[in-house]
Amino acid sequence: MQFSRSDRNGRLLIAGAAAAIAAVMVLVLIAGFRLATEIRASVAALQGTSVLQTYPAVISQQLTALRQRLQTLEYTGHVHRELTRTVRNFNLRLAAVERRNLDPAAIRHAESLWRHYAPQLAPVLAFSGEPYDDTDTGSSLSARGRKYYDQVRQAGIFAQTSAPVLHGALAAVSAALQARTSAAAARLRTLLLAGVLAVVLLALAAAYLQLSRARQQRAAREAQDQTRDILKTVREGFFLLDADYRIGAVWSQALTHLFGRSDFKGLAFEELLRDKVPADTLATAVKYIKLLWGERARENLMKSINPLGQLEVSVDNGRGGKESRFLQFDFHRVMGPKGVKHVLCAVGDITSSVLLARELQEAQENAHSQLDMMIGMLRADPLQVSAFLDSAAAGLKHVNTIMKEPARTDAEFRKKLAGLSRELHSIKGEAAALSLMSVAERVHRLEDMVAELTAKSELTGNDFLPVVLKLDELLAHLRGVREMTARLVSLKEGPAGAGTASLPQLRIGEAREPQAERPGRSCADLGALLEQLAGKLALDHGKRFALKLTGLTEVPAGYLETVKDCAIQMLRNAAVHGIEPCEARRAAAKPEIGEVCLQFRRLDPGYELVFQDDGAGLSPEALKEAAVRKNVLTAEEAAALDNRAALALIFRPGFSTRESVSMDAGRGTGMDLVARSVYGLGGKIGVSTNPGRFTRFKITLPAAGAAAAVA
């Protein structure tokens, strides 16, 4: 902008100089032409005056000749005629010189002299006819002739004295004309000199201007080149936004890489980000950009509220897919005379630093979780942990089997997801019960991923890759837990082995000892595990309840896993959904401390597990509403259900009345898991409730599976 303006100025100056040269030349020509004309006129007048100077003498001679001829009575006619012609010519030439009016004073003098002279000549010139009388005796002057002779004589006498004077006067006119001519010639010379000088000076000035303009242009070109080089080389994307929030004509090349396009000129800022960021972020960004033009937008303030300081965008990765990048937008206002002229926008790719920061955070979290894990394991019974690790390993093995199953159709993939989800949920529940939060959180995140996949409209094998990676991580973590447990056990047992006789030997990393060999121990473990979980759930959810366990020693080894899984899930449901907060219990005139009972007993044949809480109970209407909300049922289908069928909804996969997903509830995989395990063993499950009073689950298991299930 600056360059082109000065360039225009330079060009104007040069044009001005050229115009000045032309004007000077025209002026010199006009003035020179007038002077030359004047000189020409003067020269002509000078010539005329030179001829005029001779006339007085000629007239005088002719008068003398006339007088002599009259004396000798010779023929006078031709002399008279010559005189007449001479006088007439003199008059004519004098008038011509007078007309030119070049030096009035001198001419007037000559003219006045001639005015005295001419009357003397007039009677002579007026004579006509013959001045002689011819007789026989000879010729003599006639009376007119005598008079003529007298007039000629008098004129001659006058001429004798006047001719030199008139000649002198005419010489003066000539001299004046000469002086005048030479003055004009001198002026002409000066004029020409001055003209040439002026033209030379102006030409020099023009040349200087042209030179400096060329220098300026070179400088401008160089500056442009440098600007281009800068824009080509910088790693940030730079561009200017105008008052219509559109990108200007210049931007740095990095912008092309950052946004995978090159049609930035005139592009609206909104369009630049559209489809790359969520709609609400885009709306905020657009509002923010508008604010930058306002009076209140101070740089520091605007920097502090910049919503695009760390923006995650998805861009084409050049291989047909999309990838996530983190961009940082910085905005600087460019002020003009009338307020904000442009907003300079700098975009940097901070993906690597964001990822590094995340890695750091993850490392930190890992360190924390290891600490948590250690503390958790210090609290937990190593035997329980070991049992958990074994069952988790078995569960993950199952997961692996599920993952390996061939699948092509969407339905098959969804089936995989459902299986995955149930296994994970079960592992999470046990981990939480043992306060192994690092494990529980990892599984929770995996569940999140599975839930995301479930929500997708179309599934392919590639979608499972990140899940597999996370599963590997989980396995690695579980190995870490196992090692830690081993160390803790060796620590507890002590180097000297003092007082360790009573502790059972535990071989970490090997298959669990057959449960049947020490059923009492396992059942005691189960009781401890459930009590620990109950305490934790009560704390986490701000509930108060007592857990009553009866008959756990009756659980046969083959059913231990199933009873544990079911008990954990039902206990969790009771703590989260069933037992009301203390205030609600007080308000309902119920004992402040809730009661949760688990009773296991041998039937004949088979076994029975009854689980009951004295909480809020289940509301068939609420269950139906939730089922409709979650698209498990249509409104019509829901309306058609009776209370029994409504209660059975809780055994459906994906059903939960909780809106948000937390560690302990809300995934919707819970009671369906319990039901599936029970059905898997050939058992039955039933639910009964009294709203406001209790919820009771009754599970019956056949006698036959008790031994087989363990294999």
Partner 1 sequence: MSAAESIGRRQFRLLIVDDSNIMRRRIERSQRFEELAVVGTAGDGLEALELARRTDPDLVTMDLTMPQMDGIECISRLIAMKPSLRILVISALSDKATAVQAMEQGANGFLHKPFTDRQLNDAIAELIS
Q: What residues make contact with partner 1 under the rule CB under 8 A?
A: 280-281, 284, 287-288, 290-291, 296-298, 300-301, 304-307, 309
- For 315, the token pair is 């861009």
In the complex, the smallest distance separating the C-beta of residue 284 from partner 1, rounded to whole angstroms, is 4
Q: Are 251 and 237 in contact (CB under 8 A)?
A: yes
Which of 96, 297 has the CB closer to partner 1? 297
In the complex, the smallest distance separating the C-beta of residue 455 from partner 1, rounded to whole angstroms, is 24
Which of 295, 642 has the CB closer to partner 1? 295
In the complex, the smallest distance separating the C-beta of residue 305 from partner 1, rounded to whole angstroms, is 4
Which of 297, 315 has the CB closer to partner 1? 297
3-state SS class at 479: helix
Q: Are 559 and 706 in contact (CB under 8 A)?
A: yes
CA distance 534 to 544: 10
Half-sphere exposure of 650 (CA within 13 A, CB side): 29
CA distance 603 to 591: 32
Residue type, 285: A
3-state SS class at 443: helix
In the complex, the smallest distance separating the C-beta of residue 306 from partner 1, rounded to whole angstroms, is 7
Three-state DSSP string of 132-201:
EEECCCCEEECHHHHHHHHHHHHHHHHHHHHHHHHHHHHHHHHHHHHHHHHHHHHHHHHHHHHHHHHHHH
Radius of gyration of the chain (CA): 65
Dihedral through CA 175, CA 176, CA 180, CA 181, nearest 10? -30
Which of 306, 688 has the CB closer to partner 1? 306
CA distance 247 to 263: 10
Residue type, 600: F
In the complex, the smallest distance separating the C-beta of residue 487 from partner 1, rounded to whole angstroms, is 41
- For 497, the token pair is 């082995």
Instruction: List phi, psi (to 5°) of 421.
Output: -60, -45
Q: Are 198 and 24 in contact (CB under 8 A)?
A: yes
In the complex, the smallest distance separating the C-beta of residue 291 from partner 1, rounded to whole angstroms, is 5
In the complex, the smallest distance separating the C-beta of residue 297 from partner 1, rounded to whole angstroms, is 8
In the complex, the smallest distance separating the C-beta of residue 298 from partner 1, rounded to whole angstroms, is 7
Which of 289, 530 has the CB closer to partner 1? 289
Which of 296, 319 has the CB closer to partner 1? 296
Half-sphere exposure of 374 (CA within 13 A, CB side): 9
In 3D, which of 699, 676, 673, 711 has the Cα closest to residue 426? 673
Which of 286, 508 has the CB closer to partner 1? 286
Which of 302, 609 has the CB closer to partner 1? 302
Q: Residue 32 class from Cβ within 10 Å (0-12 exposed, 13-18 middle, 19+ buried)?
A: middle
Q: Are 561 and 524 in contact (CB under 8 A)?
A: no
In the complex, the smallest distance separating the C-beta of residue 331 from partner 1, rounded to whole angstroms, is 12
Which of 298, 456 has the CB closer to partner 1? 298
In 3D, which of 673, 527, 684 has the Cα closest to residue 606? 684
- For 563, the token pair is 């009873």
Which of 301, 708 has the CB closer to partner 1? 301
Q: Residue 75 class from Cβ within 10 Å (0-12 exposed, 13-18 middle, 19+ buried)?
A: exposed
Which of 161, 304 has the CB closer to partner 1? 304
In the complex, the smallest distance separating the C-beta of residue 295 from partner 1, rounded to whole angstroms, is 9
Q: Are 239 and 249 in contact (CB under 8 A)?
A: no
In the complex, the smallest distance separating the C-beta of residue 251 from partner 1, rounded to whole angstroms, is 25
In the complex, the smallest distance separating the C-beta of residue 600 from partner 1, rounded to whole angstroms, is 50
- For 240, the token pair is 């200017």
In the complex, the smallest distance separating the C-beta of residue 428 from partner 1, rounded to whole angstroms, is 30
Residue 672 CB partners (closer than 8 Å, separation 6+): 422, 651, 652, 653, 654, 655
Residue type, 683: G
- For 678, the token pair is 């029970």
- For 281, the token pair is 């972020």
In the complex, the smallest distance separating the C-beta of residue 360 from partner 1, rounded to whole angstroms, is 20
In 3D, which of 348, 353, 352 has the Cα closest to residue 330? 348
In the complex, the smallest distance separating the C-beta of residue 255 from partner 1, rounded to whole angstroms, is 23
3-state SS class at 597: strand
Peptide linkage before 382 cis (omega within 30 of 0): no
In the complex, the smallest distance separating the C-beta of residue 365 from partner 1, rounded to whole angstroms, is 20
Which of 307, 615 has the CB closer to partner 1? 307
DSSP string, 187-232: HHHHHHHHHHHHHHHHHHHHHHHHHHHHHHHHHHHHHHHHHHHHHH
Q: Are 596 and 612 in contact (CB under 8 A)?
A: yes
In the complex, the smallest distance separating the C-beta of residue 472 from partner 1, rounded to whole angstroms, is 35
Which of 132, 288 has the CB closer to partner 1? 288
Which of 311, 481 has the CB closer to partner 1? 311
Which of 137, 300 has the CB closer to partner 1? 300
Residue type, 598: L
Which of 4, 304 has the CB closer to partner 1? 304
Which of 250, 301 has the CB closer to partner 1? 301
Which of 115, 296 has the CB closer to partner 1? 296
In the complex, the smallest distance separating the C-beta of residue 349 from partner 1, rounded to whole angstroms, is 20
CA distance 443 to 432: 10
Which residues are registered as beta bridge partners of 695?
613, 689
Report the number of secondary-structure helices (H) and strands (E) in the chain.
Answer: 21, 12
Question: How many angstroms separate the Cα of 91 from the Cα of each of 42, 57, 168, 311?
Answer: 19, 15, 17, 111
